[in-house]
């Protein structure tokens, strides 16, 4: 393959687009539907409702904190100090960010749907499960937002000169 001449632009390397709003919206819609149907479906099959524990909610909050720290650290390294990550490290962070953004959206919507499924239920546990599900949804939403921030932090200038 020959080098491009002076009048020909250099070949562009492949680019990777950010996680699309369409993919996030699809995860949210699917999560809401699954979460909303979880309470009545499992109640009919198992005879009792699925439990939402504080451990689940706090684990999601912990993961959100870890992802936020990783996003901040990556932003400082790449965007502020202008350093480059090793290729494998950058790819790993980008894959982690995308997976967690999509999974976080799905799980957050699932917990919101689960909480909505309990609305109007006369059970003595309804308020407890709604609160726990909403805390878990907030944690999963934090995972998704921190993951999107990490994905943004991984962006490089593509070897274009900076102004």
pLDDT digits (tens, 9 = 90+) for 140-153: 999 999 999 999 99
Tell me: pLDDT of 2 over 70: no
pLDDT (0 to 100) of residue 82: 86
The reported pTM is: 0.83
Tens-digit pLDDT profile for residues 27-76: 999 999 999 998 888 888 888 888 889 999 999 999 999 999 999 999 99
SS (H, E, C) 81-139: CCCCCCHHHHHHHHHHHHHHHHHHHHHHHHHHHHHHHHCCCCCCCHHHHHHHHHHHHHH
With pLDDT > 70 as the criterion, what percentage of the chain qualifies? 87
């Amino acid at each position: 393959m020959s080098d491009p001449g002076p009048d020909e632009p250099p070949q562009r390397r492949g680019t990777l687009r950010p996680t699309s709003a369409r993919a996030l919206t699809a995860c949210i819609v699917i999560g809401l539907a699954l979460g909303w149907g979880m309470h009545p479906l499992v109640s009919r099959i198992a005879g009792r409702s699925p439990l939402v524990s504080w451990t689940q909610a706090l684990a999601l909050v912990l993961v959100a904190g870890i992802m936020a720290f990783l996003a901040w650290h990556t932003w400082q390294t790449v965007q502020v100090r202008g350093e480059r990550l090793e290729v494998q490290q950058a790819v790993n962070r980008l894959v982690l960010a995308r997976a967690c953004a999509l999974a976080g959206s799905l799980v957050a919507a699932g917990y919101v749907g689960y909480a909505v499924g309990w609305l109007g239920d006369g059970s003595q546990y309804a308020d407890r499960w709604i609160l726990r599900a909403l805390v878990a949804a907030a944690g999963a939403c934090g995972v998704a937002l921190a993951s999107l921030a990490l994905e943004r932090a991984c962006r490089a200038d593509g070897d274009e000169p900076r102004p």
